[in-house]
Structure 1
Amino acid sequence: MSPDIDPESGFRLPLPKREDLDEVGKKYYDRAVKPGGHSIVGLRGPAGIRLYSPKSLAHSQGLNQYLRFEAGFTPAIREIAILATAREMDSQFEWTAHEPEALKEGVAPAVIDIIKHRKSTDGLGETETVVIELGRQIFRDCKVAPDLFARAKALFGPNQLVDLVLLMGTYAGTAALLTAFDMQLPPGQKPLLPVP
């Protein structure tokens, strides 16, 4: 572990103390530590980092809540989109948090393996293929081919396609945050994503 990592927080800053936060920050602190709350990893993750900017957290929480739970994606498709993003961003922390969540939500281990090891999507269903390929093209190729865009629009419609790309974008933003603050896996947690 790098010497600039705080051992309690697992990132480059100490965990904010609840009593040092404003009322907005306290509200999100409480949500992050609540079992079954908004964070699948609690404060030792992006929520702990985001508490350094409670006002941006307040603005982003509503969007994140909508994209994850109210935009009409099945839980499996949501997790495939998150994993595709985490893979292309090489986000070990994000992947390791969401792979078990994906399994819990019914994503087949074979689909996870395809995303994890950047294998061909041949043989997958159309929806899974489109979501994985969309993540690959957005984040790896930095452009989306017209034929893939047409397939995605046909599957999701324009409105939900915008939501899908926004979902992936919010997780890419989280991956950037985790990278900048060098978020470490919890002690004893085995890394689940092969990264360079």
Structure 2
Amino acid sequence: MADRDFPPDVHPDSGCRVPLVKRKDIGVPEAQALYDHHMAPHSKSLAGLWGPGGIKLHSPKLALASQSIGKYLRWEAGIAEPIRELAILVTARCHDSRFEWAAHEPEGLRVGLSQEAIDVVKHRRPTDGLPEEYAVIVALGREMFDDRYVKPETFAAATRVFGAQQLVDIVSLMGLYAGTAALLCAYDIQLQDGPQAELPVP
């Protein structure tokens, strides 16, 4: 990483504006275990410590609380994997979050989300031709984050397709990743080395 050119306030070890936290400096044992989880070769974390997980460990109790919510929303809420990744990608696109996009486009493809659906989101195309559940997620995200108002007909369609409980979980998932996009923006996270799924941004 040291041979890359980083902005002057970005630490090469973390790719962001704070250095990587050292395990010995984490004063909460449960958060030390979370550190180990991020470092594990088969961790479900897509970015390891180079990303939001590493940043949040500077506030160990926040890291633990965030991990608990994220675990529920991503793995335990019963959201179908392609829907989960589409919801995250719509959120990343609306916030121009290149880091989130680079992590979740390949994950979306891995779990069966179509390239067509991904490209509709990436290039802000109309949703014509997408399955209804995909089109509803895209419309919901665009209206929440771009328009700051969800139309009654969009909300009604989302409730009909997903049901009341799962819609709360999906919207909360999107809110979680909107918060992550804000964190990554504030800390000027840089993309990891190697080929990355590109997100066109201004």
Is 1:75 aligned with 2:99?
no
Which of these residues, 47, 71, 88, is aligned with residue 65 of structure 1?
71
Instruction: Determine the C-alpha separation between the residues in 2 that align with 1:95 and 1:65.
Output: 19
Which of these residues, 178, 182, 189, is aligned with residue 176 of structure 1?
182
3-state DSSP of counterpart to 1:107: coil
1:110-121 pair list within 5 angstroms: 110-121=116-127
Give, in angstroms, the shift of residue 188 of structure 1. Answer: 3.3
1:158-178: CA deviations, max 9, x gaps? Answer: 111111100000000000000
Instruction: Determine the C-alpha separation between the residues in 1 that align with 2:41 and 2:111.
Output: 18
Which of these residues, 97, 102, 108, is aligned with residue 96 of structure 1?
102
Identify if the C-alpha distance between structure 1 residues 124 and 191 changes in structure 2 by more than 3 Å, giving closer, same or farther. Answer: closer
Which one-letter code corresponds to 1:132 in the other structure?
A: V
Instruction: Determine the C-alpha separation between the residues in 1 that align with 2:8 and 2:195.
Output: 19
Q: Which residue of 1 aligns with 2:59?
A: 53
Larger mean CA deviation between 170-179 and 31-40 belongs to: 31-40
8 Å contact 1:28–1:54 — kept in the other structure?
A: no
Q: Which residue of 1 aligns with 2:9?
A: 4
3-state DSSP of counterpart to 1:168: helix
Instruction: Determine the C-alpha separation between the residues in 1 that align with 2:88 and 2:74.
Output: 10
1:21-36 pair list within 5 angstroms: 21-22=26-27, 23-36=29-42
Q: Which residue of 2 aligns with 1:15?
A: 20
8 Å contact 1:71–1:163 — kept in the other structure?
A: yes
1:71-125: CA deviations, max 9, x gaps? Answer: 1111111000000000001000000010000000111111110000000001111
Is 1:140 aligned with 2:146?
yes
Give, in angstroms, the shift of residue 24 of structure 1. Answer: 2.7
Give, in angstroms, the shift of residue 191 of structure 1. Answer: 5.3
Instruction: Determine the C-alpha separation between the residues in 1 that align with 2:197 and 2:132.
Output: 29
Instruction: Determine the C-alpha separation between the residues in 1 that align with 2:44 and 2:37.
Output: 6
Instruction: Determine the C-alpha separation between the residues in 2 that align with 1:73 and 1:32.
Output: 23
Gaps of 5+ in 1: none
CA-based RMSD of the aligned residues comes to: 1.0
Instruction: Determine the C-alpha separation between the residues in 2 that align with 1:38 and 1:166.
Output: 20
- TM-score normalised by structure 2 residue count: 0.94
Q: Which residue of 2 aligns with 1:37?
A: 43
- TM-score normalised by structure 1 residue count: 0.97
Give identity over the alignment, percent: 52
Q: How many residues align?
A: 196
